[in-house]
């Protein structure tokens, strides 16, 4: 039987004296006092042996840690001889637990324990020091000369270091153990015989089984992550592998490895950081923290970044500092993950209840283990076993949860793919329906507009001509609506392609505004254009799309305008960034609150609302931005900014000579202050002297004054419609006034309707009539020509196709045949007709045509197949390919690409304009050496 004096922290170092009583007590007390006084007298120092563990019977395994004492050696200067001398006896502290945990440290510790053998014979025993092995540890055993390190024959390694020692009878032996933990310091001391020491410990078997289960679960998650995807499985596998590595590094199994041993503290730091990194990854992906807890998501990302950084810098961190940071970060991450689990559970995220349970299950023992390692709490139980059991149990539960979640996500992905397929099918059907509707509507509309255009060239009464004009106007409006619907559909699919070419903003603005002159006059809206002088003459962009933006915006705003002025102001963006051009539409014609109403969803049922949507989508596609101001009490306005880089390419000399009008004087007469301000700004930039007048009588007085001082105006620019006196009347008065001996050049700005005819203009003395709004280059050109500073530019007559051309028109629709044939007759051409693609192939193989106008959709054989067969016949016969131009009611990009891919040379949408048709004929039938089209 093994016996010993059990001692705790409060156990005194020496046995208490028995209680004395009776008649001899006073004498005994005096004797005791003398003895104590003699002991207190100075004398030589000696070791104060700690209370020993006593062996008084058969030896049984006993953990004698509570009989041990420990002492910190911060500077590592203590030696075993110094300790054995008793100089530091009072510095030792007694052990209090079977496994003593002393926190983090990076300096040596000394542990001593005394064992007394009270049996009559020597006792061979085994001293087991654990519960882990340390890379730097030495046991000192007593001998005749003092203390010596245990030799190789006395030490062997089983699970932890074991030492074979002999205890002489009736003697107490004191053992010193020096250990440098380089991190977490914990120890235990066990005394047993050799057979019991090497006997298998059931807990060790359980440890290895739990480690094996963790590795199997990690392998399972790796396979699932590789085969089925999903970051949660990958993070979960990484977490389990990191936990296994941390347990192996902390167990001391690798302490005496020549490679791993010196790096164990850094490996433990890296393992803890990897645990944190993977645990945060599991939390972020398992419950979708970005959606259910955004602020926690950011904190977990920050923790992951810190953990990743810690893994990288772990080899250079001191052991205590690195482990303190690692376990501190682990505590913070555990708190964040618990909060995340609760937040997700509270918001009813999928599988959040399961994740909340597993998080609590893992976090509880891990937090206690971290606190114990840091020396904040005392762990009186097997922390390693608790952590391993919790991790394995949680891993099994999470594996089931991940599997359920993966099935749910797979179902959601399948549903999303099905919904996407349905949406794509619906969208494809919508596009095909719109394309078919556009084709079916545009085909008869092409006949209506074409026949109206042909009818206008015949002798008609005024009433008949007005009816034909109404038909054309209604048809063109219907055509615009169809084009807007198809354009909106194409923009919604984000398949818009942009061209990059040189464009002249002045000319493009005039072309866009010209379309709305009559409509603006009907609503009493005066259009005023102002291109600032800092805008480059040529810029790079997509002229077609920019023209489309301007026409959509101007059309939408005029539709909801009130009588007044609408100014289209173009300038460089005032921010100073190069290549940004600002377009702004403002003026009194815009109603307060009208822009807001136009942008409302209900207003988009109106064509003006659709125009605005298309314009804004085009602006965004072109890389620009847009906005509006529509506050009551302020001036409404709409603006957009586009990147249009300047080009250094020069304009013709006639348009770029800025000194041609230098020093000339001009009087501008217009009741609109905006018009006079714009024209004055432009004329001053040309070097002219400008006077503005808002009243005809005031202008007449100014002309007389200048004539009297012999400084007459060179040119007078008058508006047609002014209150009190019209521009025509003012011009007549100027021409007839005897004071004005030298009448200036008179130029009138007139609207689309009510302009004087040539006879009236000549009688009033007008030199030229310019339509409003007039662009700066056009006005400058007119001023220079009328002042005799530059010869008038003579426009070349439009090139006409050769009347000897042989043409083939392939069209199945009877009305379209009549329209195309009528247009060609106006151009002096007589075509052959084919009703389908098969007839076209037969006729093209028998006759050599100069050009073929091919419809795309026809019975028997469509135009695409017919074109391919004609090209094949040409290759076989080695003939030059005949130009084939598609005439189709389809206007979408894919139809144009399909036409070109089949071998056609161009694509002209219906309704066909006679000018476009003429240009195509001239372009594709021009003989080598002929001059190009002047346009």
- Burial tier of 666 (Cβ tally within 10 Å: 0-12, 13-18, 19+): buried
- Sign of the C-alpha dihedral, residues 251, 255, 258, 260? positive
Distances (CA, A) of 895 to 375, 484, 856: 77, 17, 9
Quote the CA–CA distance of 324 and 337 in Å, as a whole number. Answer: 20
Peptide bond into 131 cis (omega under 30): yes
Quote the CA–CA distance of 191 and 82 in Å, as a whole number. Answer: 26
Quote the CA–CA distance of 383 and 550 in Å, as a whole number. Answer: 76
Answer whether CATH 2.40.50.100 is correct for domain 53-100+107-194. no
The pLDDT of residue 381 is: 53
The pLDDT of residue 110 is: 94
Number of Cβ within a 10 Å radius of residue 642: 23
Strand partners, 94: 69
Which 3-state string (H, E, C) describes 301-314? Answer: HHHHHHHHHHHHHH
Indicate if 807-925 has the same CATH topology as 653-786: yes
The pLDDT of residue 242 is: 87
The tally of CA atoms less than 13 A away on the side-chain side of residue 719 is 25
Answer whether CATH 3.40.50.970 is correct for domain 807-925. no
The tally of CA atoms less than 13 A away on the side-chain side of residue 210 is 22
Quote the CA–CA distance of 94 and 69 in Å, as a whole number. Answer: 4
> Residue 203's closest CA among 145, 148, 159, 171?
159
- Name the percent of the chain in helix, strand, coil, to the closest 5: 50, 20, 35
Rg (CA), the chain: 50
The pLDDT of residue 26 is: 39
Quote the CA–CA distance of 547 and 541 in Å, as a whole number. Answer: 11
The pLDDT of residue 373 is: 74
Strand partners, 665: 689
**H helix intervals, 199-256:** 202-228, 231-251
Quote the CA–CA distance of 739 and 707 in Å, as a whole number. Answer: 7
Contact 369, 387 (CB under 8 A): yes
Contact 751, 518 (CB under 8 A): no
The pLDDT of residue 442 is: 66
CATH number of 500-643: 3.30.565.10
Number of Cβ within a 10 Å radius of residue 469: 13
Quote the CA–CA distance of 154 and 177 in Å, as a whole number. Answer: 14
Peptide bond into 574 cis (omega under 30): no
* Domain coordinates in residue numbering, the chain: 53-100+107-194, 204-418, 500-643, 653-786, 807-925
- Binned average pLDDT, 10 residues per bin, the chain of 935 residues: 40 32 36 36 45 85 88 91 88 86 88 90 86 85 88 80 88 91 86 76 77 84 78 83 85 77 86 89 83 87 90 87 88 88 81 77 77 68 74 78 73 82 77 67 70 73 73 70 64 63 84 81 86 86 84 85 88 78 88 74 58 82 84 76 79 55 88 88 88 88 86 88 83 83 84 73 82 85 81 60 87 82 85 89 89 87 89 88 82 72 83 80 72 44
Work out the end-to-end distance of the chain between its first and last CA atoms, rounded to an integer number of angstroms: 121
Contact 304, 280 (CB under 8 A): yes
The pLDDT of residue 10 is: 38
Look at the pTM and tell me if it is higher than 0.85. Answer: no
Q: Which CATH number fits domain 204-418: 1.10.10, 3.30.2310, 1.20.272, 1.20.1070?
A: 1.20.1070
> Residue 767's closest CA among 726, 731, 721, 737?
731
CATH number of 653-786: 3.40.50.2300
Q: Which residues contact 474 (CB under 8 A, 6 or more apart)?
A: none
List phi, psi (to 5°) of 713: -70, 145
Which 3-state string (H, E, C) describes 855-881? Answer: CCCCCCCCHHHHHHHHHHHHHHHCCCC
The pLDDT of residue 306 is: 92
- Burial tier of 896 (Cβ tally within 10 Å: 0-12, 13-18, 19+): middle
């Amino acid at each position: 039987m093994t016996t010993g004096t059990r001692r705790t922290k409060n156990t005194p170092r020496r046995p208490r004296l028995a209680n004395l009583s009776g008649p001899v007590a006073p004498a005994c007390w005096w004797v005791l006092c003398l003895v104590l006084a003699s002991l207190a007298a100075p004398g030589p120092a000696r070791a104060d042996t700690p209370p020993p563990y006593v062996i008084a019977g058969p030896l049984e395994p006993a953990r004698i840690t509570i009989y041990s004492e420990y002492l910190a050696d911060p500077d590592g200067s203590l030696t075993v001889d110094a300790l054995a001398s008793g100089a530091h006896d009072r510095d030792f502290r007694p052990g209090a637990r079977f496994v003593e945990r002393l926190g983090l440290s990076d300096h040596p510790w000394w542990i001593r324990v005394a064992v007394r053998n009270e049996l009559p014979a020597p006792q061979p025993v085994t001293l087991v020091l654990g519960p882990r092995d340390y890379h730097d540890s030495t046991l000192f055993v007593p001998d005749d000369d003092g203390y010596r390190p245990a030799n190789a024959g006395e030490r062997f390694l089983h699970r932890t270091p074991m030492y074979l020692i002999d205890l002489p009878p009736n003697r107490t032996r004191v053992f010193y153990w020096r250990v440098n933990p380089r991190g977490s310091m914990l120890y235990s001391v066990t005394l047993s015989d050799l057979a019991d020491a090497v006997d298998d410990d059931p807990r060790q078997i359980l440890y290895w089984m739990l480690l094996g289960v963790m590795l199997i679960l990690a392998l399972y998650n790796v396979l699932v992550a590789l085969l089925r995807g999903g970051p949660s499985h990958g993070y979960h596998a990484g977490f389990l592998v990191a936990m296994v590595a941390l347990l192996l590094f902390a167990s001391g199994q690798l302490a005496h490895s020549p490679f791993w041993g010196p790096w164990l503290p850094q490996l433990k730091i890296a393992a803890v950081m990897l645990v944190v990194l993977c645990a945060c990854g599991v939390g972020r992906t398992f419950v979708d923290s970005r959606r259910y807890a955004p602020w926690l998501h950011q904190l977990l990302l920050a923790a992951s970044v810190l953990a990743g950084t810690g893994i990288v810098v772990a080899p250079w961190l001191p052991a205590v500092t690195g482990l303190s940071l690692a376990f501190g970060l682990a505590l913070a991450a555990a708190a964040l993950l618990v909060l995340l689990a609760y937040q997700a559970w509270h918001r009813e995220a999928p599988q959040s209840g399961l994740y909340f349970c597993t998080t609590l299950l893992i976090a509880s023992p891990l937090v206690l283990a971290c606190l114990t390692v840091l020396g904040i709490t005392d762990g009186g139980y097997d922390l390693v076993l608790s952590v391993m059991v919790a991790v394995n149990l949680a891993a099994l539960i999470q594996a089931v949860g991940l599997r359920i979640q993966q099935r749910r996500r797979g179902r959601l992905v399948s549903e999303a793919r099905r919904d996407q397929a349905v949406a794509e099918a619906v969208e494809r059907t919508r596009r095909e329906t719109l394309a078919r509707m556009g084709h079916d509507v545009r085909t008869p509309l092409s006949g209506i507009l074409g026949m109206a255009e042909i009818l206008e060239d015949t002798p008609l009464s005024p009433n008949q001509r007005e009816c034909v004009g109404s038909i054309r106007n209604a048809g063109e409006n219907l055509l615009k609506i169809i084009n807007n619907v198809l354009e909106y559909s194409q923009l919604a699919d984000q398949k818009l392609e942009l061209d990059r070419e040189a464009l002249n903003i002045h000319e493009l603005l005039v072309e866009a505004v010209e379309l709305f002159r009559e409509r603006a006059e009907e609503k009493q809206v005066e259009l005023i254009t102002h291109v600032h002088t800092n805008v480059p003459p040529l810029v790079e962009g997509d002229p077609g799309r920019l023209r489309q933006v301007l026409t959509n915006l101007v059309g939408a705003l005029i539709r909801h305008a009130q009588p007044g002025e609408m100014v289209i102001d173009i300038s460089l963006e005032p921010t100073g960034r190069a290549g940004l051009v600002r377009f702004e539409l403002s003026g009194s014609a815009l109603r307060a609150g009208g822009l807001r109403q136009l942008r409302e969803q209900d207003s988009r049922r109106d064509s003006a609302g659709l125009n605005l949507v298309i314009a804004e989508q085009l602006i965004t596609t072109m890389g620009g931005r847009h906005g509006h101001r529509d506050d009551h009490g302020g001036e409404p306005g709409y603006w957009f900014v586009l990147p249009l880089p300047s080009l250094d390419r020069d304009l013709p000399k006639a348009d770029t000579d800025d000194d041609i009008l230098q020093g000339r004087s001009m009087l501008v007469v217009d009741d609109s202050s905006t018009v006079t301000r714009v024209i004055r700004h432009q004329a001053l930039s040309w070097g002219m002297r400008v006077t503005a007048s808002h009243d005809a009588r005031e202008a007449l007085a100014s002309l007389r004054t200048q004539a009297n001082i012999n400084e007459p105006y060179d040119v007078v620019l008058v508006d047609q419609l002014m209150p009190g006196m019209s521009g025509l009347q003012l011009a007549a008065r100027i021409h007839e006034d005897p004071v004005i001996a030298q009448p200036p050049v008179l130029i009138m700005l007139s609207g689309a309707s009510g302009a004087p005819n040539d006879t009236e203009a000549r009688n009033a003395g007008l030199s030229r009539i310019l339509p409003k709004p007039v662009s700066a280059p056009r006005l400058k050109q007119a001023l220079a020509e009328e002042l005799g500073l530059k010869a008038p530019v003579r426009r070349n007559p439009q090139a006409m196709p050769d009347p000897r051309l042989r043409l083939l028109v392939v069209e199945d629709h009877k009305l379209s045949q009549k329209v195309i044939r009528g247009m060609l007759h106006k151009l002096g051409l007589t075509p052959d007709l084919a009703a389908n693609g098969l007839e076209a192939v037969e006729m093209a193989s028998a006759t050599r045509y100069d050009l073929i106008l091919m419809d795309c959709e026809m019975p028997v054989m469509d135009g695409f197949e017919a074109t391919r067969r004609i090209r094949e016949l040409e290759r076989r016969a080695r003939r030059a390919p005949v130009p084939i131009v598609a005439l189709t009611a389809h206007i979408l990009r894919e139809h144009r690409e399909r036409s070109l891919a089949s071998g056609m040379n161009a694509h002209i949408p219906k309704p066909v304009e006679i000018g476009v048709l003429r240009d195509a004929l001239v372009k594709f039938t021009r003989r080598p050496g002929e001059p190009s089209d002047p346009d």
